[in-house]
Structure 1
Amino acid sequence: MNQLTIRRSGLLWAMVCLYAGVLAQPPRGPLVVSPQINPDKSVTFRYLAPSAKDVKLSAQFEKAPVPMTKDEQGIWSVTVGPVKPDIYPYSFQVDGVTAMDPANVAFFPNERFKASLVDIPGDTPLVHALRDVPHGTISYEYYPSIDGTTGSLVVYTPPGYDQSPSKKYPVFYLISGTTDTEETFFKVGKTNLILDNLIAGGKAKPMIIVMPYGNIAARVAEQNGGSKPADPTVRDGADAVKRANDFATDLVSNVIPYTEKNYRAIPGRNNRAIGGFSRGGGQTLRTAFGHMDKFAWVCSYSSYLSPDEMERSYKPIVANPANTNKQFKLLWVSVGSDDFLYKGTAEFMDYLKAHTIQFRSMVTDGGHTWMNVKKYVAATTPLLFQP
């Protein structure tokens, strides 16, 4: 076979392979735009499922799943609202199976099902809106943790951090709730944008925010080849308390030293704040009450400790209220009036009042939601690290 024949044969073979590859590709469906936010704040959701028999929208702003209608292309759609501006999780129920929105890249970080997110802007920018202001930086970090595992952090550094290499900053350690990950305060709580906006407006001091993963037991099991343990069923039971104490040990012994070694963090309790939502709020209170020498600023969002646990484990907090009030520059407790943890949180606040422990509180409308968490972050961060 001469050289020309070889070249022609090679070209022919390449064309055959290309044609076969084209034939092997599944047919592409029509372009789906979802979610589509309309000028009147209504939202149109779409989902491509030509073979499905029933598709519904499940969204946090709806009381029940909303039926969707299929068109001739197999696209199911529904328009709902107008919807109050905010960030909401949603999903689709496709013939009884819950599914994310494949047309949407924004999702809710979670250990279990990851819902999609829709961000409905306000007519005036909301506190978490992306504005034309200087922006901080988000970094992902790994650190040596307990039981030989590797822990993960999301770290926010404020605007100007890289431009001022000699400047140091206080640190806010911020912990997500049950089934959340270290990304949730960033991707759902939009803490970075909230701080960017508050700092630009002169309402909050520039600070570093460190967001750790709260489920130490799950990480240890995963990295040692085990299965994720079930979440504790009793909030102040022995298992829940042990896990919270393990988290506190990791935070104090590993996360803080790592942060202060690798970031320009000002050391000392007066320059450290701790806060958290739900389980993270319980971890916050247990860590702060158990390590009075580490934190002067404490923020509990939608969480509490029971009077029994306070009497059993943190008696010094209430036995000497004058010292506690002197030590804590801020003790904050907040909850929604429809939150399933409202009753316990209200009892916790009554307990603190009865023992003359000074604290600040906020009771909002709504339930156990990240819409409320953003309000709490926006309300507390301006109070941190003030004279």
Structure 2
Amino acid sequence: MMTKPLMILLFAGVLGCLGPFAAAQPPRGPLVVSPQVHANKTVTFRYLAPSAREVLLNGGQFGASAVPMTKEAQGIWSVTVGPIKPDIYPYSFQVDGVTVMDPANVAFFPNERFKASLVDVPGDTPLVHALREVPHGTVTYEYYPSVSGTTGSVVIYTPPGYDKNTSQKYPVFYLISGTTDTEETYFKVGKTNFILDNLLAEGKAKPMIVVMPYGNVAARIAEQTGKPKPADPVVRDDAEAVSRAKAFETDLLTNIIPYVEKNYRAIPNRENRAIGGFSRGGGQTLRAAFGNMDKFAWVCSYSSYLSPQEMDRSFPQIGANPTNTNKQFKLLWVSVGSDDFLYQGTLEFMDYLKAKNVNFKSRITDGGHTWMNVKKYVAETTPMLFQ
């Protein structure tokens, strides 16, 4: 048995070992609370930078572009803006010309090219994406063998009760995010899991698996082979953009779908597969669906389109045989915001479909090319799927 003096000696020795480590730690600064959402929907943002000359708030999507912040005690800069319309918004700080995330905030916008923080302004009545006291599904990160020897990644939502009733199989919604977004964006920004939880609790949607893949195959190959990520195509339907979309389509059909149908209780037929996407993901959605009508029966394009020239060149069967197209697609949805930079192109795509007598449902909202609109589109389309 260890004697008491020896125990004290050993304890002192441990403290002695930890002493230099503890002494080497930097001093803690003051506690910074940011963002602070007030009851009247105004929001206070704070950033600790005692030596900074200027700090600006960048929150253009809630009307606060390059707003000067005021330096207060202990070097904390702050500003209060609003009231802000309830929703989830990205923001960042510009510190002496350098754009940074909010270090006091754990919520961030997953993206290849920029890193923004997120502020969630709740509604007086809970919004469709709000966390509510309802049964919740499960979100899982999965990794699968992908093209060129790389490892692909997907985020997968399974509905409440999936693990309890192990004999039940489910339809699958493949949901693709936009240019520079990642497989996490529908989850962390779009709150797709909460949207489905809430719709299911209200009996407005059919239980489904939602698969959220990473749409930039070229970037993943470069990253995993030690090369810089290639620049994104400038023209949405040039040869490079179409080639990139084809690479994702190949990954989806030959790797992602087989992985999901092997490892999840998915119903493996076209009537129980939906595909949807935002921006670049919307283009990938349309190309994959129009080129593989035997694979998908439900198609949702959010803030995206294909040009009439590409339709005639690559998918002439869609307009040449509208009777078959209308029979094959149980839903073809096209939506866009009136301030979206893709608004005119999307209207042109709608006009093309009308002229070819192709049935589709459309939704034009206010706002721009934002995830605020994406959440609306997901909430409106998921109740239509698999009905």
TM, length-normalised to structure 1 = 0.96
* Residue of structure 2 in register with 1:298 after alignment: 299
Match of 1:345 in 2: 346
Whole-angstrom CA distance in 2 between matches of 1:270 and 1:135 = 26
Q: For the residues of structure 2 that align with 1:187 and 1:70, how far apart are their CA atoms?
A: 31
What is residue 208 of structure 1 aligned with on the other side? 209
2:200 is matched by which residue type in structure 1?
A: I
Structure 1 position 357, deviation (Å): 0.4
Q: Distance in 2 between matches of 1:11 and 1:236?
A: 68
Q: Distance in 2 between matches of 1:21 and 1:137?
A: 40
- The letter for the 2-side match of 1:28 is R
Q: Which residue does 2:261 correspond to in 1?
A: 260
- Quote the Cα distance in structure 1 between the aligned partners of 2:289 and 2:14: 67
Of 122-131 and 66-75, more deviation after overlay is shown by: 66-75
Please list, as runs of the form range in 1=range in 2, the aligned pairs for 1:19-34 lying within 5 A after superposition. Answer: 19-34=19-34
Q: Secondary structure at the match of 2:74?
A: coil
Distance in 2 separating the partners of 1:58 and 1:351: 38
Query: Quick one: which amino acid aligns to residue 27 of structure 1?
Result: P
Alignment partners' CA distance in 2, 1:271 and 1:265 = 8
Match for 2:257: what amino acid?
Answer: I
Structure 2 unaligned residues grouped into runs of 5+? none
Write the letter of the residue equivalent to 2:38. Answer: N
- Correspondence 1:7-156 to 2 at 5 A: 17-59=17-59, 60-156=61-157
Unaligned runs of 5+ in 1: none
| Structure 1 position 368 matched with structure 2 position 369 | yes
Kept in 1: contact 2:338–2:368 (CA 8 A): yes
The alignment status of 1:377 with 2:378, answered yes or no, reads yes
User: Residues 40 and 248 from structure 1, CA distance in 2 versus in 1: closer, same or farther, beyond 3 angstroms?
Assistant: same
Paired residues, what number? 384
Q: Which runs of structure 2 are paired with 1:226-265 in the superposition (5 Å)?
A: 226-265=227-266
Pairs within 5 Å for 1:280-359? 280-359=281-360
For the residues of structure 1 that align with 2:123 and 2:218, how far apart are their CA atoms?
40
Partner of 1:219: 220
Q: Measure, in 2, the Cα distance between the counterparts of 1:11 and 1:83.
A: 54
1:273-294 CA-to-partner distances (Å, cap 9, x unmatched) read 0000000000000000000100
Label 1:322 to 1:24 Cα distance change in 2 as closer, same or farther (>3 A): same
Per-residue CA shift, 1:122-143, capped at 9, x if unaligned?
0000000001100000001111
- Percent identity between the aligned chains? 76
Paired with 2:48 and 2:202, the residues of 1 have a C-alpha distance of: 43
Change (3 A) 1:6 1:367: same
The CA distance in 2 between the partners of 1:252 and 1:203, in whole Å, is 29
Q: What CA distance in whole angstroms lies between the structure 1 residues aligned with 2:381 and 2:309?
A: 27
Q: How does 1:162-181 map to 2 (within 5 A)?
A: 162-181=163-182
Asked if the contact 2:136–2:159 (Cα under 8 Å) also holds between the matched residues in 1, the reply is: yes
- Counterpart of 2:282, as a letter, is G
Distance 1:14 1:311 in 2: 75
Residues 109 and 8 of structure 1: is their aligned pair in 2 closer, same or farther, counting only changes over 3 Å? Answer: closer
CA distance in 2, matches of 1:12, 1:358: 78
**Paired letter, 1:48:** L
| Secondary structure class of the residue paired with 1:64 | strand
Measure the CA separation in 2 of the matches of 1:156 and 1:354: 38
Cα offset, 1:23, TM superposition? 3.1
TM-score using structure 2 length: 0.96
Deviation at 1:45, TM superposition (A): 0.5
Partner AA of 2:33 in structure 1 = V
State the Cα deviation string for residues 177-198 of structure 1 (Å, max 9, x = none).
Answer: 0000000000000000000000
2: distance between equivalents of 1:173 and 1:9?
61
1:169 is aligned with what amino acid?
A: Y
Over aligned residue pairs, what C-alpha RMSD do you find? 1.8
